[in-house]
Structure 1
């Protein structure tokens, strides 16, 4: 009996499939650092725990242009990843991103064999030293070290070279609602202004007043300390009582004699005389006249 050709083809297909199943899986290619300390850029991956989350597009484009012309001046710090043949970025993700835009095939690296805790430490330290983190990212990085690796605020201060009070004040920003955090991230509200809102009853409304009024940190502190029902009340400026003719005449006389502006505030049980000067020379002259008399 003649064998069916279709069965022969099916048999060969099954044999080939079984052969593929039995064949050992291909091992990931081992990547070695070149003599000049560089690695193929495709074998680097960003650190999922990097405290830095936002990358300014304009700054990345400018850095990419610089790298395309001059190359990378400072190597990227990496560590071996769990996936064989790959490396995880510890510090320098912005340079890695810009290098991709610049079309680089390889970038210089420094390989560190460190654990998750140390890798996070290094990432935070480098970003804080370079002022690459916005205050919210910095606070989140500190909180991550506290939650995952049992750091104290004093420990963090020693590691990053900041005072314990700086760490504590930075962590306070995480108590603020998301809309205010967004204002800090985009730069419309400074960390100093934001810290004054932590204990405020309506921080969002006060934040808006601070931004719209261009208030200083000290003014923001005073505003935040007011009772809630006074925060949105504009206090009327008390009207000063009109001065009598004798007081006005005396002010003019003293102003003419001294050559300086003199204001007399007379009250029922006394009062005060204010003399305004613009320069130290005017003050010296006033002192000389008072001593001579």
Structure 2
């Protein structure tokens, strides 16, 4: 086995540079012009990344890919890095699905591109690759954006530029993490779409409404109407009082402000401002002590 010279790439790359590696790995090419690999490595010397954000692989899609690989081979090499402390072994950075399909096809070797990524860069690339390939469910995608922002310090604007997503798309995606665990499970299982889930974020009891949406097979528009009716119904759950009905409806500007603040903080924000007055209240709801710690850090940093 002859090892070809590897491209030298410095560490500490920015998000755009990391993105270039993912693009190189994922750009479709014809069988006549495949990417030239650095090495052919015995498949048993390649291991999966234990921090891979993608946790589930569709069996039917894997079987289809395996059949294609058995017939045509692996056209695009896997991106790997040398396994620390284990000479000759490699850890997958991008391409685990191809590796799994190659095992099913009983291939003995896989083509690889070797990169000297740090632990942090490995996780960044794994998240970016999955987001670019649309391989994640809405909750995993939201968690991926959240990790890129919280763990690696990337802003929504930077992610928007590099990943080709609008800032509002990323903000709305991250807001899904505010939903109760039950609703997030429905999202992971495909029982609710991201559109349904976004409609439920501002509801008082998202889980109950989610069950109703699933039971009645409601569309996203119907789910939005359900949330609105639930908020306006003074008899909902037998707990609301006539006083609730006296509360004036919020105008469109206030609702938009709530949405922007919620997207920025990653927590539910309620703005209560009485028309004609200068004062009011802002309420921030957190789902965990970690979120409370994050809020405290944000407020301390702004001093």
* TM-score, normalised with respect to structure 2: 0.61
Indicate yes or no: 2:58 matched with 1:56: yes
In the alignment, the residues of structure 2 paired with residue 229 and residue 47 of structure 1 have an alpha-carbon distance, to the nearest angstrom, of 52
CA contact (8 A) 1:67 1:98 kept: yes
In 2: Cα distance, 1:63 partner to 1:229 partner: 54
Matched positions, count: 203
Counterpart CA distance in 2 for 1:50 and 1:67 is: 22
What SS is found at the alignment partner of 1:158?
Answer: helix
Which has the higher mean CA deviation after the structures are superposed, 169-178 or 144-153?
144-153
Q: Secondary structure at the match of 1:196?
A: helix
Q: C-alpha displacement at 1:75, in angstroms?
A: 1.3
Residue 135 of structure 1: aligned partner: 138
1:167 aligned counterpart, secondary structure? helix
> Relative to 1, partners in 2 of residues 1:33 and 1:95: Cα closer, same or farther, differing over 3 Å?
farther
- Structure showing greater relative contact order (alpha-carbon pairs closer than 8 Å, 6 or more residues apart): 2
- Residues 100 and 59 of structure 1, relative CA distance in 2, 3 Å threshold: same
CA contact (8 A) 1:223 1:231 kept: no
Cα distance, 1:36 vs structure 2: 6.9
Q: Which residue of the other structure, out of 167, 170, 183, is the alignment partner of 1:167?
A: 170
Q: Using the TM superposition, name which of 119-128 and 130-139 deviates more.
A: 119-128
1:93 counterpart (96, 102, 108): 96
Aligned to 2:77: 75
Q: Residue 217 of structure 2 aligns with which residue?
A: 214
- Match of 1:149, SS? coil
Which shifted more, 48-57 or 35-44? Answer: 35-44
Separation (CA, whole Å) in 2 of partners of 1:224 and 1:61: 41
Q: Deviations over 1:198-250 (max 9, x none)?
A: 121111111122122222222211211232656689xxxxxxxxxxxxxxxxx
Q: In the alignment, which residue of structure 1 is the partner of 2:115?
A: 112
Structure 1 match to 2:42 = 40
Gap regions ≥5 residues in structure 1 = 1-30, 234-293
Cα-Cα RMSD: 2.4
The structure whose Rg is larger is 1
Matched residue, 2:129: 126
Any idea what the Cα deviations from partners look like across 1:22-49, whole Å, max 9, x if unmatched?
A: xxxxxxxxx9757873211112111222
Return 5+ residue gaps in structure 2 as ranges: 5-36, 239-303
